[in-house]
Structure 1
Amino acid sequence: MEKLAKKYRQQLDEMAKEIEGSEYLEAYWNVEDEEQGVQYYQYLQSVYEPRIDEIYREVAEHHPLQIIELEREILHERFEGFYLPRILAYTILRGIVNENYKYIKPQEHFRTVLLSLTRSLHFDYLCTRIGQSVQVGFALSSDIWVSNLLNEIPNKKVRNFFLTQKITRYRDASERKKGLLSMRRQFEGVNFYTTSFPENAIQLRTDYSELKEFILQRILLECDNSGLTKHIVKFAEEKSLWELTEFVYIFGLIINYFDLDKKTREKMAKVLNTCRKEVKGFVDAYFEFLKELLGSSRLIIKTECDKKVSGLIDTSIDDQFSGYYGLMTTIHKEGYNSDNTLSRVQKFYFQNEGLSTINECLRLTMLAYFTMELDDLEPEEYSRYMDITKVMSQYTNIFNNQSFNQSIGEVSLKYVRKLLKHFTDKRSRDYQDIKRFVMASFKDLNFMRDKDIADLFKTRRKKRKKKES
């Protein structure tokens, strides 16, 4: 965590003074009509919450380790509860849950935000905006944690409100999942993640899940990570972490996705190449990480990722890094269908055990290439699909792997269904060309059984409507 920069403190101080001197705030406190008072408060919200949000977004983008300090400033009573419901939601969504949809550890900042809410002079209005968040947050927390929190609330009316937010249906894990996913969708694309970079093995093991999610979100949201440089370097250069699998995964994400300046890249390269030479199990752990990444639905390994890592590698070190990323360079330069590429793929593949992790990485990489190409292919380009199928056939022969063959078959079938949806005239030349090609190639490549292939092209008769008597 970092202290909030002076620049942002000054902006908040100026805003707080402006709020304090607002004639609308004065009118809010003095008005006797409750409905009129709510209108004054909502007006103040409409003026100041966007300005708070502007500061929040800037901090989240460029200085994410200052987010907790920023939130603590906004929780102060001088901001009259503005933006507090949103901070509550962010705090709930930042917590990491297990497979049972319960927080893996107590969320102390969630507690801080809730207690600030209970002390707010505007609680009666704010409670109308926080129901869903509190319900989900309580559901994800342990019963003991919630009970201890409620015991800290002295105001009976406020405590009773929170008691009603313990929802019975959320005792079911599937319902907790629905509630959490609903909140995530509501704030999809919003950057509110923060973390602490660990300095020793105990901290890394304890905070790994939060740190990993933070890094993933920075990648998915395409954030500016230049403000994290000193923390990244310090983390990467901490030798006591190098033997940990958790370190390999975080380090792997950073070198594959983060845009680093020249000086930082040089430091990352030094760490990477030292680990390759000196840290037992580092290379194996890295390719386990890469296999997981290639099989992930959250992140896509792009050409730029391979280029970033290739630029860090000392090729004089004879290991799997040099071999794998050397092959990736050939694929990117010459394409996956060149004779040289196919020859190098075969040579590399046969140098390793068929079911080895590094060979699985290679298979997943090639599957990703074919998937992307066929997904982007328009129906009118089906002749290109026929050419690609010939190349896919060469790779299936090299790999001789049932899982790869099945995946390639599924990708091909998806495109063929796209073709049949487009070319509906069964007497047309296009349709007949596609039919002949698919019936021959799907059989040769063992994508489908003869009966299933025939069913693809079978005319479906519409059921006749029964005549009304």
Structure 2
Amino acid sequence: MYPLNEAYQQHLEAIAVAIQASPNLATYLEEEEDAYYEALKAEFEPQIEQAHQQLIDYSPLEIEAFEKTLLDERFEGLFLPRILGYSVLRGEITDLFYYARQNDHYGAILESIAQNSNFDQIKSRIGQSVQVGFALSSDIFVTNLVDGISSKRVRQFLQAQRASDARTLDGRRRIFLRYARQFKGRNYHYAAFPLEGPELTTYIKATNDFLQFRVSGELDNAAIAPTLHAMITEDDFKGRKEILRPIVFYGTFFEQTPDDRGELMTVLNRERNANPAQTSSEILSTILELKKERDFPFGKEQELNLGSVISRNIDDELTAYFNLTDKIHNDGYVNPDVQAAIAEELAKHSGLSTFAANVRESILQYFKQLAEGFGTEEASYQQWFEVTGKQFPSYIKIFGSESFNQDLRALAKRYTKRLTKVYTNKRGKDYRDIKKITMTTWQDYGFMSEKELKEFFKTPRKKKVEA
């Protein structure tokens, strides 16, 4: 756990003091009515939430320290139900839908809630979080946690949250996915960074998932960079393939000082020289996976960023790959010289290799941008036909990949469907031009047979409504 910075310590201390001085708390303690506790929540939980959100957006490595501070009795259990839910979702989950490791942070928050003097006011907000956390945890963990609670009434409440569905894999999956949907769009993510040899295997998956979340949007990651740099340059991790995926994230999405960039490149060169096949394979596999992630930003800009930390004085697949992609991105995928370079380089690699698959994916991204960028007016669709009429056949021949062809077919279908929804008059010039060109070119590309094309352009008949 990373320590909480002094500014937030002081801020939380001020909130704790204000809570204890609040008239709402005094009235609640005097009257013991739920309405006054609700008033206390309305007064202070927005302040805690604002600080929590700001910290996790800008300095997420300190979030567990922040949340542990809230376990102080002076906060009267405020905001604990929310952070209990976040702690449930942060634990690394296996394919069997169990926690990969004991979720101690979840346990600490739940234990604090169970022992809080305001438990009766809090319990109505934690039932599902307790149920999901118990479903994902081992029986030993749950039993030890419940047995450690002194209040029989609280123990009975917790025992009642052990869902029978959690006994099966499908049950745990349903319980978790249903719960996780409630938090969609929220930033609650955190993972520890391994900094010692034994931790690398244990924590690296959670770390990678956390990094991928952080770089997938517009979050400020400046506070993460020093810890990530320290992990990547740790001597204990020399020769370990587990550091290669974080290196991809760091080299692609993080800004480095000149000194830090030099150290990053030194580590990369060390790994490439010591384990050329492993390093190339891991890095190319990682960027291929990221390119295929829906809505994940790994395109031209990101590939050029990563290429800038790849030394070209090492004769390996990474040098060959980034020399080629630099040419694609800088000179343009429609350039005949670029296409000749792609054909020449791919002749050295199997069509099923990650090298070839990455090149195809880079080109496919340009065609996706083309399809998404064009409107449906005549000038746009004429340009679409002009560009694709030249480039589709060229790349179909260069790659010789049925998978790539199917991806092009899907793009062409989506764009053409957009056109036919606009140009519905089958006697009109636009519709006839679109159909004529499509009927000819798609057969040439191998996208559809004549029979399939006729079916594609057929207007479904509306069902007659019986009187």
Q: TM-score normalised to the size of structure 1?
A: 0.93
**Residue 466 of structure 1 corresponds to which residue in structure 2?**
466
**1:60 aligns to 2:56 (yes or no):** yes
**Residue 383 of structure 2 corresponds to which residue in structure 1?**
384
Q: Note the C-alpha offset of 1:175.
A: 4.5
Q: Distance in 2 between matches of 1:68 and 1:332?
A: 42
**Residue 156 of structure 1 corresponds to which residue in structure 2?**
152
Post-superposition Cα deviations, 1:41-80, rounded to whole Å, max 9, x if no partner, equal 1122122112112221232133222111111101111100
**Residue 195 of structure 1 corresponds to which residue in structure 2?**
191
Post-superposition Cα deviations, 1:233-267, rounded to whole Å, max 9, x if no partner, equal 22111243243332111211221222333332232
Q: Distance in 1 between matches of 2:295 and 2:230?
A: 27
Q: Please give the root-mean-square deviation of Cα atoms over the aligned residues, in Å.
A: 1.9
**1:136 aligns to 2:128 (yes or no):** no
Post-superposition Cα deviations, 1:127-185, rounded to whole Å, max 9, x if no partner, equal 11112212222222233332222212221111111122122334454443344334333
Equivalent position to 1:77, from 73, 76, 89: 73
**1:313 aligns to 2:310 (yes or no):** yes
Q: Note the C-alpha offset of 1:197.
A: 1.9
Q: Distance in 1 between matches of 2:16 and 2:114?
A: 21
**Residue 121 of structure 2 corresponds to which residue in structure 1?**
125
Is the 8 Å Cα contact of residues 242 and 248 (structure 1) preserved in structure 2?
A: no
Q: Note the C-alpha offset of 1:359.
A: 0.8
**Residue 348 of structure 2 corresponds to which residue in structure 1?**
351
Which secondary structure state, in structure 1, belongs to the residue aligned with residue 215 of structure 2?
helix
**1:250 aligns to 2:258 (yes or no):** no
**Residue 329 of structure 2 corresponds to which residue in structure 1?**
332
**Residue 261 of structure 1 corresponds to which residue in structure 2?**
257
Is the 8 Å Cα contact of residues 291 and 299 (structure 2) preserved in structure 1?
A: no
Which secondary structure state, in structure 1, belongs to the residue aligned with residue 224 of structure 2?
helix
Q: Distance in 2 between matches of 1:221 and 1:46?
A: 31
**Residue 418 of structure 2 corresponds to which residue in structure 1?**
418
Which secondary structure state, in structure 2, belongs to the residue aligned with residue 128 of structure 1?
helix
In the alignment, residue 101 of structure 2 is paired with which amino acid?
Answer: K
**1:342 aligns to 2:339 (yes or no):** yes
**Residue 232 of structure 2 corresponds to which residue in structure 1?**
236
Q: Distance in 1 between matches of 2:282 and 2:26?
A: 62
Post-superposition Cα deviations, 1:249-303, rounded to whole Å, max 9, x if no partner, equal 1211221222333332232222222322233421222112222222223623122
Is the 8 Å Cα contact of residues 136 and 180 (structure 1) preserved in structure 2?
A: yes
Q: TM-score normalised to the size of structure 2?
A: 0.94
Q: Distance in 2 between matches of 1:304 and 1:261?
A: 19
Is the 8 Å Cα contact of residues 111 and 149 (structure 1) preserved in structure 2?
A: yes
Q: Note the C-alpha offset of 1:430.
A: 1.0
Q: Note the C-alpha offset of 1:417.
A: 1.6
Q: Distance in 1 between matches of 2:406 and 2:217?
A: 33
**Residue 298 of structure 2 corresponds to which residue in structure 1?**
301
**1:375 aligns to 2:372 (yes or no):** yes
**Distance verdict in 2 for CA 1:232–1:395, change over 3 Å:** same
Q: Note the C-alpha offset of 1:397.
A: 0.4
Post-superposition Cα deviations, 1:70-123, rounded to whole Å, max 9, x if no partner, equal 111011111001110111011001012222322222211111111011001111
Q: Distance in 1 between matches of 2:422 and 2:255?
A: 41
Identity %: 31
Deviates more, 1:178-187 or 1:158-167: 178-187
**Residue 4 of structure 1 corresponds to which residue in structure 2?**
4
**Distance verdict in 2 for CA 1:20–1:463, change over 3 Å:** closer
Is the 8 Å Cα contact of residues 276 and 282 (structure 1) preserved in structure 2?
A: yes
Which secondary structure state, in structure 2, belongs to the residue aligned with residue 378 of structure 1?
coil
Q: Distance in 2 between matches of 1:44 and 1:303?
A: 51
Q: Distance in 2 between matches of 1:449 and 1:154?
A: 74
**Pairing 1:431-446 to 2, within 5 Å after superposition:** 431-446=431-446
**Distance verdict in 2 for CA 1:342–1:40, change over 3 Å:** same
**Pairing 1:8-47 to 2, within 5 Å after superposition:** 8-31=8-31, 37-47=33-43
In the alignment, residue 154 of structure 2 is paired with which amino acid?
Answer: V
Q: Distance in 2 between matches of 1:439 and 1:421?
A: 17
In the alignment, residue 392 of structure 1 is paired with which amino acid?
Answer: F
Deviates more, 1:165-174 or 1:277-286: 165-174
**1:227 aligns to 2:226 (yes or no):** no
Moved over 4 A (4+): none
Is the 8 Å Cα contact of residues 226 and 260 (structure 1) preserved in structure 2?
A: no
**Residue 451 of structure 2 corresponds to which residue in structure 1?**
451
Which secondary structure state, in structure 2, belongs to the residue aligned with residue 379 of structure 1?
coil
Q: Note the C-alpha offset of 1:224.
A: 1.8
Which secondary structure state, in structure 2, belongs to the residue aligned with residue 109 of structure 1?
helix
In the alignment, residue 457 of structure 2 is paired with which amino acid?
Answer: F
Deviates more, 1:38-47 or 1:17-26: 38-47
**1:146 aligns to 2:145 (yes or no):** no
User: 5+ unaligned residues in a row in structure 1: which ranges?
Assistant: none
Q: Note the C-alpha offset of 1:327.
A: 2.0
Which secondary structure state, in structure 1, belongs to the residue aligned with residue 190 of structure 2?
coil
Is the 8 Å Cα contact of residues 191 and 221 (structure 1) preserved in structure 2?
A: no
Q: Distance in 2 between matches of 1:269 and 1:108?
A: 37
**Residue 358 of structure 2 corresponds to which residue in structure 1?**
361
Post-superposition Cα deviations, 1:210-246, rounded to whole Å, max 9, x if no partner, equal 1111111211243222222322222111243243332
Is the 8 Å Cα contact of residues 194 and 214 (structure 1) preserved in structure 2?
A: yes
Deviates more, 1:241-250 or 1:424-433: 241-250
Equivalent position to 1:217, from 202, 213, 216: 213
Is the 8 Å Cα contact of residues 293 and 301 (structure 1) preserved in structure 2?
A: yes
Is the 8 Å Cα contact of residues 81 and 122 (structure 1) preserved in structure 2?
A: yes
In the alignment, residue 140 of structure 1 is paired with which amino acid?
Answer: L
Q: Note the C-alpha offset of 1:436.
A: 0.9
